[in-house]
Amino acid sequence: MDLQHAVALSALPGISRSRVAAVSKALTDQSGDDCVSLADVVAACRPDLDASAVVSEALTVASTLLKAAAAQGIVAIPRGRPGYPPLLATIGDPPPVLWVRGQPSVLSHRAVALIGSRAATPYALEVARRLSGELAGRGVTVVSGLARGADAAAHRGCLDAGGLTVAVLGSGPDVIYPAEHQDLAVSICEKGALVSELGPGAPPLQEHFPLRNRLISGISLAVVVVEASEKSGSLITARCALEQGRDVMAVPGSVLSGRNRGSHALLKDGAKVVETADDILEGLGWGSEPSAHADGSSNPCFDNELLEMMRPGESYDLDGLAVLFGDTGPVLLTRLTGWEVRGRVVRLAHGRYMRRPDR
Amino acid sequence: MDLQHAVALSALPGISRSRVAAVSKALTDQSGDDCVSLADVVAACRPDLDASAVVSEALTVASTLLKAAAAQGIVAIPRGRPGYPPLLATIGDPPPVLWVRGQPSVLSHRAVALIGSRAATPYALEVARRLSGELAGRGVTVVSGLARGADAAAHRGCLDAGGLTVAVLGSGPDVIYPAEHQDLAVSICEKGALVSELGPGAPPLQEHFPLRNRLISGISLAVVVVEASEKSGSLITARCALEQGRDVMAVPGSVLSGRNRGSHALLKDGAKVVETADDILEGLGWGSEPSAHADGSSNPCFDNELLEMMRPGESYDLDGLAVLFGDTGPVLLTRLTGWEVRGRVVRLAHGRYMRRPDR
C-alpha cells in the first residue's frame, strides 16, 4: 500500500480507528489486494458521509503527519510492507500503519509482553525487573506500555540486561507519557523502539489506551501479567491476547493483599504459572535451553512438519508458508521462530524465510 | 473385626505397618469378610517367620495397648466398624485400627486438610490461619498434622473460629510432638480429635511421618498446600492425596523467595488455585454458598443421579450405595456429603444413609 494512502487510512475523520482497521483488513483479505480504496472504507464504515470529502481531508492530514515524522526520524510502516510485525498482521484489526521511533528492525524479533499495574507493589516491580532481565538474556524482546510501575520496571530490567525492548504508546511516538519517562524513552530508542498506531503529535487520550493494549499483545507471542488486581487494565490486554490466540501467562503473588486477584483469576482460568523466564519459554514450546533441542526432535512443539515442507534453497513468504502449513496465525509463527532460534531456518529480507541446509 | 484382633494386626512384630495395612485390606476385600486371620497376614507378609509366635506376641501387645488406651480415654476404632472414617477406608492401605483421643464423632464430618512448612513464613501462617477460619465458618473440619508452623496455624485458626479440627499424629495419640503443642492438643480434643494409627506410647520417630501423611489426605476430601518449597514434606502428602483420588489445591505466593516453589509446581501440574475458602468449596463442587444450591439443581456436581437411586424411607450402607452408584471412592462420598450438607440425605447410626422425604 502506498505510504500516504496507508497513513490517510488511519486518519479518516469521523471514523474510529479500530473500525477502520477491521474493515480495511476485511476488504484487503477479500480482494487479495494490499491496496484498499479509501473511499470504499469510508463507504463501508459511514455511508452517511461524503466519501470524497473525507478522503481528501485524510490525505492532507497524512501528508502533514509524514512530514512531521520525517523531521523527527519517525518511520511509518504500512501493513503488508516489509518491516510490519508479521504477528501483528495476524490480528483481526491490525493498524493500517505503524509509527516507529528508534530501530524498526527490532519488530521482527521474537517478543514477549510483560505487563502489570501502574500502582505496582515493590514485589511486582522486582518481578518485572527480574523476568525482563532473564528474557533479555535469552534473546527475547520485551514489550510493554511505558506506563509507570510494572511497565517501566520491565523496560528498565531489559535495558539493564543489555536486551531489546519495545514500548507501545497510547500517544504519538514523539509524545512521551508520563513525561517523567522521557529519559527511559530515549534509552529504549537506542536499540529498541517506541511504536504507536497514532501519528506524531497525538496526545495520550484515555480512550487510546485500551486500543494500545491490543498492539502490546498483537506484536507479542505471549502476554505475561506480572501483577493485576481485580479491575486492572492488564486484564484487558490479557483478553486481547486470548482473542488473538496468544498465550496468556501470569505470575502468582500474595493472596492476602488483593493486589494479585486479577492474576490469580487468570491462573484459575488456565493461564500458565510463571516463576521465571524458563516458564515462559517452556510455555511457548521453546524449551528452557534451546541448545538441548537443537534438532527439534525432543520437543513436540518443534516437530519436523513445517521444516520438511520447506525445500532447502527455496525461500518462502509467510503467505506461502501459511498455505503449506495450513495455519496463518500464531502457531505458524511460533514454530517458525522456534526453528529460527535453533538456526534451522533463516529470515531473509522482505519477510521471506529459507530452510538452512541440514547439517 | 474383633478389637483386640484389629489392634494385634497393627502390632505384628517384624512387619511394616504399611505392608500389613495393604495386605490385610487385600485379604478382606478378597474374602468379603471383615475379619482377616492374623496368621494369614503374617504368612503373606513374612513366610519366613513363625506365624503363631508372631500372632501370640501381637495379641499380648494389643491387650497392653488397649488397657493403656482405656486408662487415658483413647478409643480404638477397627476398620470396617462404625466410626471408622468412611473416606479413609477407601485408600489402598487403610490402617487396621485408628486410635482417637477427643471426639471420635468428628471423623464422620466433611474435612479438608491444610498443610504447609514447619518453617513457615509469616505469610503462610496468616494464610493458614485465615483459610482455616473461613473453612470452620462453613462447617468444614480442618485436618492437619500438629507440626510447628503452618499446621499449628491451621489448627489454631479453626479453633479461634469455633470450628472442629483433627490433628493426625506421627506418634501415639497421648504423645504430643512437639512438646510445646501440649496446650494446643488439649484444645483440639475438646471438640475435635487427635488421631493416629500408632497406639498409646508410640514415640514420634522420623519414619512415622511419611506414613502419617497418607492419613492426613486419607481422611480429607481435598488437600490444600499453604506453602511448600521444592523439597517440602507437604509434597509427599500431596502425592498421597493424588494417589488416593483426592483433590489437590495450592495457595500461590511470592515467586522471589523460593518458599513457594513446591506449591507453584503443583499449580503448574494442575492443582487448583486457592485464594479463599470459597475456592476450596467450589473446587469440591460444593459451591461457595450452599444455600444457593439447596436443591442441587444448578450445581452439576450435585446432579440427582445418586439421590434418585435412594428410595425414600430406605437406609443404605456405603457398600450398597457403591454398587448402586457404580463408584466406591471419593466421588460417591463427595456427592453423599454434598447432599448431606444440603439436608437431602441424613447419616444414620452404623454408617448408614437415608434420603430425606422430598419437600
Give the whole-angstrom CA distance, residue B220 versus residue B304. 24
Tell how far CA B252 is from the center of its chain: 24
- A225, A255, A257, A264, best to mutate vs chain B, most B CBs in 10 Å: A255
Q: Cβ of B41: how many Cβ atoms within 10 Å? A: 26
A70-99 pLDDT, tens digit per residue, is 999 999 999 988 899 989 999 999 999 999
B235 or A293, greater pLDDT: B235
* Span A26-54, average pLDDT: 88
Q: Are the C-beta atoms of residues A88 and A98 closer than 8 Å to each other?
A: yes
Q: Cβ of B147: how many Cβ atoms within 10 Å? A: 25
Inter-chain residue contact A272 with B267, CB threshold 8 Å? no
Handedness of CA B285, B291, B295, B298 (dihedral sign): negative
Give the whole-angstrom CA distance, residue A72 versus residue A93. 27
Q: What percent of chain A has pLDDT over 70?
A: 91
Q: Are the C-beta atoms of residues B264 and B255 closer than 8 Å to each other?
A: yes
Give the confidence band of A299 by pLDDT, cuts at 50, 70, 90: very low
Q: Are the C-beta atoms of residues B171 and B207 closer than 8 Å to each other?
A: no
Peptide bond into A178 cis (omega under 30): yes
| Longest Cα–Cα distance in chain A | 62
**B253: closest chain A residue by CA:** A253
The pLDDT score that the predictor gives to residue B97 is: 95
CB pairs under 8 A between A and B: 54
**B283: closest chain A residue by CA:** A268
The pLDDT score that the predictor gives to residue A340 is: 75
Adjacent-strand bridge partners of A116:
A227
Element (H, E) at B267: helix B261-268
Mean pLDDT of chain B: 88
End-to-end CA separation in angstroms for chain B: 40
Smallest CA-to-CA distance from B197 within B54, B84, B73 is with: B84
Give the confidence band of B327 by pLDDT, cuts at 50, 70, 90: low
A321 or A111, greater pLDDT: A111
Q: What percent of chain A has pLDDT over 90?
A: 66
The pLDDT score that the predictor gives to residue A124 is: 96
The pLDDT score that the predictor gives to residue B308 is: 75
The pLDDT score that the predictor gives to residue A274 is: 98
* Span B167-173, average pLDDT: 97
Within 8 A by CB and 6+ apart from A356, the residues are A312, A343, A344, A345, A346
Q: Using CB atoms, which residue from A130, A252, A279 is nearest to B252?
A: A252
Give the confidence band of B218 by pLDDT, cuts at 50, 70, 90: very high
The pLDDT score that the predictor gives to residue B353 is: 83
- Judge whether residue B105 has pLDDT over 70: yes
Least confident of A298-307, B47-56, B301-310: A298-307
Q: Is B139 left (phi over 0), alpha (psi -120 to 50) or beta?
A: left
Within 8 A by CB and 6+ apart from A289, the residues are none
Triad B129, B134, B137: Cα angle to 5° = 125
Question: Which residues in chain B are closer than 8 Å to A273, comparing Cβ atoms?
Answer: 252, 264, 267-268
Give the confidence band of B296 by pLDDT, cuts at 50, 70, 90: very low
Least confident of A23-37, A136-150, B100-114: A23-37
**B261: closest chain A residue by CA:** A275
Smallest CA-to-CA distance from B254 within A169, A11, A257 is with: A257
A143-171 pLDDT, tens digit per residue, is 999 999 999 999 999 999 999 999 999 99
The pLDDT score that the predictor gives to residue B315 is: 83
A157-214 pLDDT, tens digit per residue, is 999 999 999 999 999 999 999 999 999 999 999 999 999 999 999 999 998 998 899 9
**A272: closest chain B residue by CA:** B268
> Is residue B218 classed as helix, strand or coil in its secondary structure?
helix
Inter-chain residue contact A252 with B274, CB threshold 8 Å? no
A289 or A77, greater pLDDT: A77
Least confident of B88-92, B146-150, B155-159, B173-177: B88-92
The pLDDT score that the predictor gives to residue A242 is: 93
The pLDDT score that the predictor gives to residue A293 is: 30
Give the whole-angstrom CA distance, residue A158 versus residue A142. 7
Give the whole-angstrom CA distance, residue B57 versus residue B17. 16
The pLDDT score that the predictor gives to residue B134 is: 97
Grid cell for residue A184: 527511559
Burial (CB count <10 Å: 0-12, 13-18, 19+), residue B107: buried
Q: Are the C-beta atoms of residues B175 and B146 closer than 8 Å to each other?
A: no
Mean pLDDT of chain A: 88
Inter-chain residue contact A252 with B260, CB threshold 8 Å? yes
Using an 8 Å CB-CB cutoff, list residues of chain B that contact chain A. Answer: 123, 126-127, 130, 251-256, 260-261, 264, 267-268, 272-276, 279
The pairing of strands A97-102 and A75-78 is antiparallel
Question: Which residues in chain B are closer than 8 Å to A227, comparing Cβ atoms?
Answer: none
CA distances from B120 to A57, A122, B232 (A): 67, 22, 11
- B273, B278, B280, B282, best to mutate vs chain A, most A CBs in 10 Å: B273
Smallest CA-to-CA distance from B134 within B296, B1, B231, B279 is with: B279
Give the whole-angstrom CA distance, residue A62 versus residue A78. 12
Give the whole-angstrom CA distance, residue A194 versus residue A202. 14
Give the confidence band of B299 by pLDDT, cuts at 50, 70, 90: very low
